[in-house]
Amino acid sequence: MSEITTVDLFCGAGGFSEGFSKSGGFKPLLAVDFDKQAIATFQHNHPNIPTICTDISELSKDNLLNLTKHENVQVIIGGPPCQGFSIAGKRLPDDPKNVLFKEYVRIVDILQPDIFIFENVVGIVSMQGGLVLEAICNEFSKIGYELSHGVLNSADYGVPQARPRFIMIGSKHNKVIGMPEPTHEALYKKGGNTRLKNHVSVKDALSNLPLIHQGQGEEVVANTKAKNEYQKLISGTRYPGKLFNQRATKHNECIIERYSHLPQGGDIRSLPENLRTKKNNVFRLKDDVPSRTITCNFRTDIIHPWVPRGITTREAARLQSFDDDYQFFGNLTRKAKYLTQDDQVGNAVPPLLAKALADHIKEYL
């Protein structure tokens, strides 16, 4: 069987493409993103995937066909930013807020893949009372696609993070493709006999990483021996024995004291009054369950379960299910116009969720 051709739009640091690579049997023709630093990370980890750093609105039909070498594109993956959609009735008007999504539809219409997978925030389901989702479905239906959609919990597919994501699968040829079946479940749901594995916990994900304190760590260190199945799975094959991006942010004494008093699973409201701040979205990880959603501000908002500091890029990448030798490039703080390491990790599709989707759609191609 020949390899299945793919195009990755809004590819970022490469989580979607990484999952498809792990699934095997796919031939990536092109990956596109407008951020220079995200593309640098993508290219380093996927040197054999053709990439272009550009705004997709600047890609003409001729550009696309030349970049994909006029091959038949079977699958398109990606998730355009969809914050603040503007709608008129049940349609998406030509409003700047809608441009990136409409460009995604335009490229799907040009390349006419057999299947596309559209990934986004779960809030898209309830935007403007469901009218935004209805308008999105209308846009894809107009260009000939049968649709299914759902909200998937990443933890149900082996990711040590309870990250809900909206997934839409579009298919041609009068097929409707549903969502992949879960492979994992929460321990409290377990019955006597089950084919599902336990959810992967924060402890499962982080327990063999070098336990560094605030201000410590390095960009490249020797990896340590895996203690469980998950750690073996994500140990990596690019640079065996190496671990990247394990560098912790330095905090002042006041912040360290605040973090020290946070209980596992607690937030700012768990603290004594004198240690609270107006910023409520600071949480300490609970080590016996999957992580909460990894955001782009994990150095200040997501606190390590065992030491009083924000988590590192590598710890966040572990919780996102990236391999240990998947290396992220860029600043740790927002001093440049390009995406930080935090943005790249926080914005990514978890590779193991992407792999589950890739495994699933292969049955229909």
Per-residue pLDDT tens digits for 65-108 = 999 999 999 999 999 987 677 777 777 877 777 888 999 999 99
Type of residue found at 49: I
% residues pLDDT > 70 (the chain): 98
Phi, psi for residue 159 in degrees, rounded to 5: -85, 130
Residue 1 has pLDDT above 70, yes or no: no
Mean pLDDT (whole number) for 189-213: 88
Give yes or no: residues 360 and 258 share one domain. no
- Distance between CA 315 and CA 12 in Å, rounded? 19
Question: What pLDDT, on a 0 to 100 scale, did the predictor assign at position 21?
Answer: 97
What's the CA gap between 334 and 163, in Å, rounded? 24
Q: How many domains does the chain have?
A: 2
Whether the predicted pLDDT of 197 surpasses 90:
yes
pTM for this model (two decimals): 0.95
Asked if pLDDT for residue 352 goes beyond 90, the answer is yes
109 neighbors 64 (Cβ within 8 angstroms): no
Place of tokens 């024995």: 241
Residue 85: the pLDDT is 74
- What is the overall mean pLDDT for the chain? 92
Residues 53 and 86 placed together within one structural domain of the fold:
yes
Same domain, 163 and 223: no
38 lies in the same domain as 178: yes
For residues 151 and 55, state if they share a domain: yes
Q: Both 87 and 123 in a single domain?
A: yes
Is residue 214 located within the same domain as residue 162? no
Q: Are residues 77 and 139 in the same domain?
A: yes
Residues 238, 173, single domain; the answer is: no
Question: Which of 72, 63, 75, 71 has the alpha carbon at shortest distance from 7?
Answer: 75
CATH number for the domain harbouring residue 282: 3.90.120.10
Tell me: do 175 and 212 sit in the same domain: no
Mean pLDDT score, 165-180:
95
Q: Which residues are catalytic?
A: 82
The mean pLDDT value for 185-214 works out to 88
Q: What is the pLDDT of residue 264?
A: 97
State the pLDDT at residue 151: 97
Q: CATH number for the domain including 117?
A: 3.40.50.150
Q: Are residues 130 and 108 in the same domain?
A: yes
Per-residue pLDDT of 120-159, as tens digits, reads: 999 889 888 888 899 899 999 999 999 999 999 999 999 9
Query: Do 151 and 60 sit in the same domain of this protein?
Result: yes
Average pLDDT over residues 28-49: 97
What one-character-per-residue DSSP string does 152-194 give?
A: EEGGGGT-SB--EEEEEEEESTT----PPPPSEE-GGG--SS-
190 located within any domain: no
Separation of alpha carbons 242 and 222, rounded Å = 5
Q: Considering the domain boundaries, does residue 343 fall inside one? A: no
Average pLDDT over residues 55-62: 95
The answer to the question of residue 345 being in a domain is no
Range of the domain at 22: 4-185+350-364
